[in-house]
A and B are shown apart, each in its own frame.
Chain A
Amino acid sequence: MSTTTGQTAPHPPNAATPPSASVVQVEDLVAEYAGRRILDRLNLHVSQGEILVIMGGSGSGKTTLLRHLLGLKRPSSGRVSVLGVDISRGERSKLYQVRKQIGVAFQGGALFGSLSLIENVELPLREHTNLDNNTIGIMSRMKLELMDLAGFEHLMPSELSGGMVKRAALARAVVMDPKLLFFDEPSAGLDPVVAVELDDLILKLREAMGITVVVVTHELQSAFKIADRIAILDKGQIVVEGTVDEVRNSDNRRVQDLLNRRARDEVLDPDAYLDRLTRNVRH
């Protein structure tokens, strides 16, 4: 029997984020635009392997917070640390290293209109790795299969439905097996069945790949299904942060406003609703 052994160059793939470490750490973050304070001394952390859902109404600061977590904006003051790296100082080399380990699925998909679906998904691998073409092709097709987009790889973004665009954006976001995934409004504009499928996918990705996920959404059902913790943002501050049960049972008025909007829909009285709709109808 002959034996050959080999070893690749040592590297610390998870060295920056030991189990249960904070993957995201936000300290006293202040963001101001044109003299208006959007985020007001905000503190937040996300642990490794956790799914954190950030919720809040329009104008609550969700999008601004996401931009700071991605290093797209520099804080007026405070600190944002992602995967153990302080990204709030805007150092490009540090940002680049962190961003290679992050996947982002933007609300509108942000697919390149001039590239086919498969070319969009392959793009991060072509830009950031030296992998062989065969490997890139197989990895990308695996992600398209996972997102139930097999057979559509040569379609252009303009030929995709809303749900397909969301899934394509998610396929591209996870094609490099990121340690951290940001997903902006995954369910917005989707029919309930597709939205539930997308929630299941997020849970599967976390389970199989151990990905840490930060989801920004205003969809309660989705948040309650996937979240380990929910952070509710209002007027630039986290007003409640906790497990699904803790948020459900919170007596914070803003939180109850958010929850009760959906509750009111769920106990819809069809006759009363019809009356409201036909109040001005005369026969």
Chain B
Amino acid sequence: MTYAVQSAGSYTVISLHGEIDLQCSPDTRSVILDRLGSGENVVVDLSGVSYIDSSGVASLVEGLRFAKTRGLRFALVSVSAPAMQVLELARLEKVFPIYAAVDDLDQL
């Protein structure tokens, strides 16, 4: 798994690439929680994710909970088909704010 972090207006975009599984999901969790912990609104771009397991999804869930608790925005964008399938299996597709692209988010 690789990731890239960049700013886009009032959001920090974390782009994940490759396979997110038990071995690398702690890194995913860290990068998400670090940014939220710094008070940033976070968007996770999943367009490059070819596989995500429950531990990766759990990192996203924890990020969403953390953001809501702190009054921050947290969203998913460009969710790849394999990632969407897993989100749907876990019935999370309506829990996360999901957008087609970063440009679709309202700037704060």
Contacts and interface: CB of A to CB of B under 8 A. Distances in A.
B108 interface: no
Given A139-B58, A208-B86, A8 B1 contact: yes
A4 to B, nearest CB: 4
B91 A131 contact: no
Size bin of chain A's contact surface: 20 to 34
Interface in B14-45: 19, 21-27, 29, 31
B23 A11 contact: yes
A131 B3 contact: no
B21 A177 contact: yes
Interface in A103-147: 129-132, 134-135, 138-139, 142-143, 145-146
A60 B5 CA distance: 58
A204 interface: yes
Contacts of B58: 134-135, 138-139, 142
A275 interface: no
A204 B8 CA distance: 37
Contacts, number: 92
Nearest to B20: A8
Interface residues of B, number: 33
B2 interface: yes
Given A1-B8, A3-B6, A139-B54, A8 B24 contact: yes
B88 interface: yes
Contact of B55 (A7, A8, A131, A204): A131
Contact of A135 (B3, B19, B23, B62): B62
B23 A3 contact: no
16 contacts: A2-B6, A3-B4, A4-B6, A8-B1, A8-B2, A8-B23, A129-B55, A130-B26, A131-B55, A142-B58, A145-B91, A146-B89, A176-B22, A177-B22, A209-B53, A209-B89
